[in-house]
């Protein structure tokens, strides 16, 4: 009897374990099939729907090529630019034709990053979400605007009919859930180009060399006899003064970081050479706010003037004064690349949703020494560098009145991390892949439920076996 019980339970356990393994295999196969389905339309240069060529709305006089599936990269490797991760930029259709050995008809229409079936059969039985890049002249109703740039809006649309969007002249790019990574890479490229164009338009190169290199800067500080203040680690920190009366006076008019930035971006940039007849001269925020407007060397009397170091230090002082925690805002010193010119600069970094975002108050008005005139420029909005890459080449120092690091140390939470654009995270967060999310959730629930049922059943068998074992022993007695 005992052998029979053991044999029976052994078989049951084997069956249950087999079922559990089968379930796991089913889940893996399901995920594998999803991956296979997402890449089922292989790149075939004999099909016009597999490769898209259209005049670039970003690069003047050039063409873009994009593919329905970036996973097929090895087959068309000579058409893909590693920097842009997913499309090739060419100055002529002929060059593209030579590379892929196939006659391409550049229609000039914006083409999508979606499954080919959705192009062939744009009507579907149920609504689906798509994320699109559209120009500013569009009148497309949308569910959500994720972000916007100088020339484009990034929107989410839910529809069961793609036809109206595939043929819409205002649509630059359409993407479904499966090709979101390609879409993100494409979006980053658009924003990078816009950033370069904005830097040229604003002539930010005028702001370059605002800060001399670190060895010279240290020498200057020592020559000025700046002492490290009690409770601080470096002499740089004394230039962030949130409790100064002049800073406090300004901060009473401000309640948000956007308002602080709007105030700062209207300060007039003037070089140290012009204002002080020196390559480098640092002022405390009090002097910058209260005194520079009446300097005899001020080329715009009555206006607050100075270069990047004073503007960055004072903006951080104001942000601290209106309540920002010291771990959430900092001055950054380093090298930037403004239109091909690389030099020292100071800017501000502020935490947004736990990540660093750049604010540069010097993109406002400036004094052009060559033309001997004030040049008024609007600068960029508060969130501009959230998505457009700020051209940092090298970081030297982060600091404020409480924290300082020149060694990439975690002196405060998040201070060892650097600024990066929010494009990828915001697109992922804004375009929730509902279909995939539901599938993944269902799969996870299935696995958990199968595991729980198996464990409970095994436990039941174990208890049943022990109960019979005890009963048999009692019977023998």
Along the 477 residues of the chain, how does pLDDT read in single tens digits? 444 445 555 555 555 555 554 444 343 333 333 332 222 222 333 333 345 555 555 555 555 555 444 333 333 334 444 444 444 444 454 554 444 433 333 333 445 677 766 766 777 778 889 999 999 999 999 999 999 999 999 999 999 888 888 778 888 888 888 889 888 988 998 899 999 999 999 988 776 666 777 888 888 878 888 889 999 999 999 999 999 999 999 999 999 999 999 999 999 999 999 999 998 999 999 999 999 999 999 999 999 999 999 999 999 999 999 999 999 999 999 999 998 899 999 999 999 999 999 999 999 999 999 999 999 988 899 999 999 999 999 999 999 999 999 988 999 999 999 999 999 999 999 987 544 444 444 555 566 667 777 777 777 676 766 655 544 555 555
pLDDT of 68 reads: 42
Only one residue has tokens 């059969």, namely: 121
Spatial neighbors of 41 by CB under 8 A, at least 6 apart, are 50, 68, 69, 115, 116, 117
Q: How many CB atoms lie within 10 A of CB 139?
A: 7
Taking alpha carbons only, the member of 401, 419, 249 closest to residue 322 is 249
Q: Would you state the CATH architecture of domain 204-423? A: Roll (3.10)
Domain ranges within the chain, ordered by starting residue: 1-38+433-477, 48-194, 204-423
Neighbours of 413 (CB within 10 A): 12
Which residues are paired to 157 by β-bridges? 130
CB-side exposure of 261: number of CA atoms within 13 Å?
A: 21
From residue 257, give the alpha-carbon distance in Å to each of 390, 403, 461: 19, 20, 64
CA distance 258 to 461: 66
Structure tokens at 231: 């409770």
Specify the DSSP class assigned to residue 390.
Answer: P
Instruction: State residue 29's pLDDT score.
Output: 37
pLDDT of the residue at 111 = 55
Contact by Cβ (8 Å): 282, 265? no
pLDDT for res 476:
52
Query: What pLDDT score was predicted for residue 148?
Result: 95
Cut 0.75: pTM above it? no
Residues 163/122, Cβ–Cβ less than 8 Å: yes
DSSP 232: -
Give the C-alpha distances (Å, rounded to integers) separating 224 from 206, 227, 241, 243, 423.
26, 9, 19, 23, 43
How far apart, in whole angstroms, are the C-alpha atoms of residue 195 and residue 323?
Answer: 31
Q: How far apart (Å, rounded) are the C-alpha atoms in residues 381 and 265?
A: 9
Q: Which two tokens stand for residue 10?
A: 């052994």
Pairing between strand 268-269 and 305-306?
Answer: parallel
Q: Which pLDDT does position 213 carry in this prediction?
A: 79
231: left (phi over 0), alpha (psi -120 to 50) or beta: left
The per-residue pLDDT for 162 is: 85
379: left (phi over 0), alpha (psi -120 to 50) or beta: left
In the block, residue with structure tokens 């007039």: 268
* Residue 79 and residue 99 in contact, taking contact as beta carbons nearer than 8 Å: yes
pLDDT of residue 11: 54
Quote the tokens at residue 273.
């050479």
Read off the tokens for 74: 């090895």
Is 378 strand, coil or helix?
coil
């Amino acid at each position: 009897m005992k052998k029979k019980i053991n044999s029976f339970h052994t078989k049951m356990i084997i069956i249950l374990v087999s079922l559990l393994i089968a379930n796991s295999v089913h889940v893996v196969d399901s995920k594998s099939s999803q991956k296979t389905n997402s890449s089922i339309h292989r790149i075939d240069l004999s099909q016009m729907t597999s490769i898209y060529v259209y005049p670039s709305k970003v690069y003047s006089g050039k063409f873009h090529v994009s593919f329905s599936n970036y996973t097929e990269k090895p087959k068309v490797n000579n058409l893909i630019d590693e920097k842009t991760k997913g499309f090739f930029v060419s100055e002529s259709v002929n060059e593209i034709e030579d590379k892929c050995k196939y006659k391409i008809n550049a229609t000039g229409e914006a083409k999508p990053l979606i499954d080919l079936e959705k192009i062939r059969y744009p009507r579907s039985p149920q609504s689906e979400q798509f994320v699109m890049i559209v120009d500013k002249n569009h009148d497309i109703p949308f569910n959500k605007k994720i972000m916007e740039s100088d020339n484009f809006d990034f929107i989410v649309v839910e529809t069961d009919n793609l036809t109206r969007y595939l043929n819409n002249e205002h649509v630059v790019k359409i993407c479904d859930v499966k090709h979101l990574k390609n879409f993100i890479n494409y979006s980053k490229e658009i924003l990078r180009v816009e950033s370069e164009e904005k830097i040229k338009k604003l002539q930010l190169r005028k702001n370059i060399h605002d800060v001399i290199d670190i060895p010279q800067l240290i020498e200057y500080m020592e020559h000025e006899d700046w002492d490290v203040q009690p409770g601080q680690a470096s002499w740089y920190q004394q230039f962030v003064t949130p409790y100064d009366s002049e800073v406090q006076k300004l901060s009473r008019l401000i309640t948000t970081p956007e308002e602080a930035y709007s105030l700062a971006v209207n300060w007039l940039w003037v070089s140290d050479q012009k204002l002080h007849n020196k390559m480098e001269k640092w002022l405390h925020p009090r002097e910058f706010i209260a005194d520079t407007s009446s300097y005899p060397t001020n080329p715009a009397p009555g206006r607050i003037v100075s270069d990047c170091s004073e503007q960055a230090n004072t903006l951080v002082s104001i942000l601290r004064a209106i309540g920002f925690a010291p771990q959430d805002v900092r001055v950054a010193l380093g090298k930037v690349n403004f239109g091909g010119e690389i030099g020292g600069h100071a800017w501000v970094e502020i935490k947004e949703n736990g990540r660093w975002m750049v604010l540069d108050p010097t993109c406002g008005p400036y004094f052009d020494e060559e033309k001997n005139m004030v040049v008024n420029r609007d600068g960029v909005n508060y969130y501009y560098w959230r998505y457009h890459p700020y051209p940092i080449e090298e970081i030297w120092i982060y600091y404020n009145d409480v924290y300082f690091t020149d060694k990439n140390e975690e002196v405060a939470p998040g201070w060892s991390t650097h600024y990066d654009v929010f494009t990828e995270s915001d697109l992922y967060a804004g375009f929730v892949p509902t279909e995939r999310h539901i599938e993944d959730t269902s799969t996870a629930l299935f696995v958990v439920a199968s595991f729980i049922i198996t464990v409970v059943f095994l436990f039941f068998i174990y208890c049943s076996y022990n109960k019979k074992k005890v009963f048999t022993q009692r019977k023998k007695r």
